Amino acid sequence: MAQLTLNLPDSLVEHAGYLGRATHRDASVVLADTLEMMWPAWEDMLSSDPFPPVTGLSDVEVLELADIKMDPVQNERLGELQSRGKTSGLTPGEQFELLTLIHLYQIGQIRKSEGLAEAVRRGLREPLPS
């Protein structure tokens, strides 16, 4: 594992420390775990314009967007946290992780709906029955 020194805002370090104490982990571990968990989504966003207008996408890209699914690892973790939250409750760190994953899921669903609407507009897909 590589070691890296970062200058972070005090508020971020304080929040990581709070989550670390709540989960009995060091703040640096909380930050590293969060970065590792979120990296697949950031990597996708960094590789191109994260949310290009659907009208500028090719037909193939529109159909891919219409069929988009959450990263399987993130989706599995989302389900785990939701189940645990219903049965035994979540730590503050897990609550933060759950909110982050829900946010990623919501962004994906919005983009998927944009892709579906554009696919219908272009005649690539039939409208959903009402």
**Per-residue pLDDT, 44:** 65
Residue 127's φ and ψ, nearest 5 degrees, are -60, 150
* Cα 17 from chain centre: 22
Distance CA(119)–CA(122), nearest Å, equals 5
**Per-residue pLDDT, 46:** 60
pLDDT in tens, 57-116: 999 999 999 999 999 999 999 999 999 999 998 888 888 899 899 999 999 999 999 999
| Dihedral sign of CA atoms 96, 102, 103, 105 in order | positive
pTM above 0.85, yes or no: no
pLDDT in tens, 9-24: 888 888 888 888 888 8
Which alpha helices (DSSP H) does 10-91 contain, by range?
A: 10-23, 27-47, 59-66, 72-87
pLDDT band at 2 (very low <50, low <70, confident <90, very high): confident
